[in-house]
């Protein structure tokens, strides 16, 4: 057997090939471009790499053009965690010396000695990887939008609380187009107090509002003209300019999140697993796409439901030493999937009677806190999802949460 290790960097990469005895067969220093990739593939072919029997490769990343080139065909690519690679380095040198060629050799030896305990990158379909790119980007855009909205809210509290009161009754608050048009028209409390009904109505129309414009404009006028404390005029104007700069970022973040959400809605339904995922209570298109993005469609990725639950951080972990043992929640997990789990479990409470009953039982009978009960519900839903995907079945409420068996009358 031949094993390959690649220590990657931004512009160049170091490659090492070892045999099953650990002897270094070849090493190369390649560039991060098409010419460098060709040198790497030629080197692998020189030592027996073929379509039927490819050489496994270890690298400290799971993305990028180099990984995409290596994943063509049936080759197994192992993404080794850099922290794990650092521990392996100590097995080869106690002096803690480090070099890029040496790291490539360490990665190759990881496969030679412990390939059976490391997991190769899943063989997901191109459509699943497409959904993953879009769903993760939409999730990042949503988080970014909320972060900027929080910054804007904090700034408005310092000098413009009337603006927060004006948008408080609107769903999504500061992220709405009406809020953006209102803040553009009146970036300071002094300017807001001078807005006329016609100007407020025009701002609402520019935001796309169609109904109740006159009543809403009257409400805004009353809120913005109410007595309130003021910063000094010069300071207030400066804060207004800072607010407008944040507002530009928020508008761009809202547009990005909406555009990516539309892209997810177009790509996700084309996947064969979409119908199964959408059959589960609490999963809409966006949440279902995020679930698919993290678990993929490679059915051999998880050997059983327990592996999937541990990967998502839904199952507890036991730490035992001597006579002491403790059961706690997992800290090492897929954070994206774990975040989806709480949203999924919360939404399932209103759409699944069985899920709601399970949640209440965890709270009342087991004494779980809200987060622990939600995590337990997510753990159970993941097990059901694994079963449905493996057997190509839709969610069935009666099977997922069976009710108590009816009492049978015994005749004497």
Give the DSSP per-residue string, 46-59: HTT--SSSPPPEEE
On whether the CB atoms of residues 33 and 64 are closer than 8 A, the answer is: no
Kindly report the CATH number assigned to the domain that includes residue 35: 3.30.420.40
Query: 40-97: per-residue pLDDT in tens?
Result: 999 999 998 888 889 999 999 888 899 999 988 888 999 998 888 888 887 777 767 7
Number of structural domains the chain divides into: 3
Residue keyed to tokens 């079945």? 393
Q: Which residues, 6+ apart, have CB-to-CB distance to 404 below 8 Å?
A: none
Residue 54 shares a structural domain with residue 156: no
In a domain? residue 123? no
Per-residue pLDDT, 331: 82
**For residue 412, is it within any domain?**
no
Residues 234 and 148 in one domain: yes
Residue 283 lies in a domain: yes
- Do residue 164 and residue 237 come from a single domain? yes
Answer yes or no: do 110 and 8 share one domain. yes
Q: Which strands form 2-8's sheet, in the order they lie side by side?
A: 24-31, 12-19, 2-8, 57-59, 77-79
The answer to whether position 388 is within a domain reads yes
**Same domain (yes/no): 321, 384:** yes
- Does 293 lie in the same domain as 240? no
Q: Tell me, what's the pLDDT at 325?
A: 82
Question: How far apart are alpha carbons 71 and 263 in whole angstroms?
Answer: 26
Q: Does a structural domain hold residue 406? A: no
pLDDT digits (tens, 9 = 90+) for 377-389: 999 999 999 999 9
Specify whether 258 is located in the same domain as 313: no
Q: Is residue 10 part of a domain?
A: yes
Boundaries of domain holding 239: 130-266
Last residue of a domain, one of 117, 150, 171: 117
Looking at the structure, do residues 248 and 302 belong to the same domain, yes or no? no
Ranges of the chain whose pLDDT falls below 70: 95, 404-412
60 in any annotated domain? yes
221 and 148 in a common domain: yes
Which residue, 207, 240, 266, sits at the end of a domain?
A: 266
- How far apart (Å, rounded) are the C-alpha atoms in residues 12 and 100? 10
One domain, residues 111 and 137: no
Cα–Cα nearest to 308, from 395, 388, 228: 388
Residues 225 and 304 reside in one and the same domain? no
From 266, 293, 323, the end of a domain falls on: 266
β partners of residue 318: 327
Question: Is the same domain home to 293 and 165?
Answer: no
In a domain, 135, yes or no: yes
pLDDT at 147: 96
Question: Residue 99 has what pLDDT?
Answer: 84
């Amino acid at each position: 057997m031949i094993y390959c290790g690649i220590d990657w960097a931004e512009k160049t990469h170091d490659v090492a090939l070892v045999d099953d005895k650990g002897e270094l067969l070849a090493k190369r220093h390649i560039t991060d471009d098409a010419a460098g990739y060709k040198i790497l593939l030629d080197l692998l072919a020189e030592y027996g790499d073929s379509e039927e029997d490819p050489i496994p490769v270890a690298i400290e990343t799971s993305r990028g053009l180099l990984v995409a080139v290596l994943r063509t065909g049936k080759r197994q690519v192992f993404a080794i965690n850099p922290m794990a690679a650092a521990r392996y380095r100590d097995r080869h040198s106690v002096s803690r010396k480090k070099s890029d060629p040496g790291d490539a050799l360490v990665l190759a030896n990881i496969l030679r000695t412990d390939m059976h305990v490391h997991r190769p990158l899943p063989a997901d379909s191109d459509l699943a990887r497409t959904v993953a790119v879009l769903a993760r980007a939409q999730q990042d855009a949503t988080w970014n939008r909320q972060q900027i909205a929080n910054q804007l809210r904090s700034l408005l509290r310092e000098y413009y609380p009337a603006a927060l009161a004006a948008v408080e009754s609107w769903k999504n608050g500061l992220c709405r187009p009406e809020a953006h048009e209102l803040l553009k028209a009146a970036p300071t409390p002094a300017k807001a107090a001078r807005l006329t009904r016609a100007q407020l109505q025009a701002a609402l129309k520019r935001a796309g509002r169609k109904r109740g414009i006159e009543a809403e404009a009257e409400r805004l006028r009353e809120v913005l003209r109410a007595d309130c404390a003021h910063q000094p005029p010069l300071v207030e104007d400066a804060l207004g300019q800072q607010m407008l700069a944040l507002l530009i970022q928020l508008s761009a973040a809202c547009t990005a999140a909406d555009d990516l959400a539309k892209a997810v809605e177009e790509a996700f339904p084309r996947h064969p697993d979409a119908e199964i995922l959408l059959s589960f209570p609490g999963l809409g298109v966006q949440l279902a796409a995020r679930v698919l993005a993290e678990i993929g469609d490679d059915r051999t990725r998880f050997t059983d439901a327990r592996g999937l639950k541990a990967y998502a951080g839904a199952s507890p972990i036991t730490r035992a030493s001597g006579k002491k043992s403790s059961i706690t929640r997992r800290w090492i997990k897929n954070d994206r999937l774990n975040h989806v789990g709480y949203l999924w479990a919360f939404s399932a409470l209103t759409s699944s009677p069985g899920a709601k009953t399970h949640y209440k039982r965890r709270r009342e009978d087991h004494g779980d806190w809200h987060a622990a009960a939600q995590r337990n519900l997510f753990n159970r839903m993941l097990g059901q999802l694994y079963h449905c995907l493996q057997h190509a079945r839709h969610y069935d409420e009666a099977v997922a949460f069976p009710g108590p068996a009816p009492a049978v009358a015994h005749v004497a």
